[in-house]
Amino acid sequence: MVHGRPGRIWVAGIAVLGLTLSACASSGAATYGGSGGTGGASGTVVKAGSVSGLGTVLESSNGAVLYLLTADKGGTPTCTASACTAVWPPLLLPSGTSSATARSGVTASMLGTVKTPGGRLQVTYDHWPLYLYAGDSGPGVANGEGIKAFGGTWYAVTSSGAAAKKSSSGSGGASPSPSSGAGW
């Protein structure tokens, strides 16, 4: 009997798993829990999805709800310090790409970008910089909705570019908007 092999296979398996996780982390792929903030090497996709109590809101390619911060006046991100971005990671484009891809329910002409202080491109929708929330655990979860932090209030973004707000009807879509002046 060879006693050393099972241990070596286990160690090799752990090493491969560690390398895989490391590669995923370095690609910047958006995951729940707030690590990362891009759509990976293939680009960043913004789509529409339904969230109970909010209606139709914007989501990343993996179904993570996308948020705006009312303090982001004039389309300039204010959530730039590590204390903020650790909880509210910006939706960033992968290096070498210049735009996000709109999927069903998203108006492509409303997608844009803004340069972060670190020089990366953050995806915007109707001039609102977009963020994920570290407290969301999976698709259709909007635990960040209505949180007051970092100089404003966080809201999921509707496909019309407005802040979704919890309601009994789930229709969402309340202001702020650029035309109302709220948050701008």
pLDDT recorded at residue 167:
60
CA-based torsion, 79, 121, 35, 156: positive or negative: positive
Helix or strand holding residue 128 (H, E):
strand 128-129
pLDDT of 163 higher than 70 = yes
Write out the DSSP string of 66-77: -EEETT-GGG--
pLDDT recorded at residue 3:
53
Q: How much is the average pLDDT of 127-139?
A: 96
User: Distance (Å, rounded) from C-alpha 100 to C-alpha 89?
Assistant: 16
pLDDT of 33 higher than 60 = no
Taking the whole predicted model, whether its pTM rises above 0.75 is answered as no
pLDDT recorded at residue 99:
94
User: Distance (Å, rounded) from C-alpha 31 to C-alpha 33?
Assistant: 6
Domain spans of the chain, in order of start: 29-156
Cβ–Cβ < 8 Å for 48, 106? yes
Tens of pLDDT, residues 80-90: 999 999 999 99
The tokens of 9 are what? Answer: 């296979």
User: CB 166: neighbour CB atoms within 10 A?
Assistant: 16
Instruction: Output 134 or 27, whichever has higher pLDDT.
Output: 134
* DSSP conformation class of 49: E
Q: How much is the average pLDDT of 137-144?
A: 94
Query: What is the residue type of 93?
Result: L
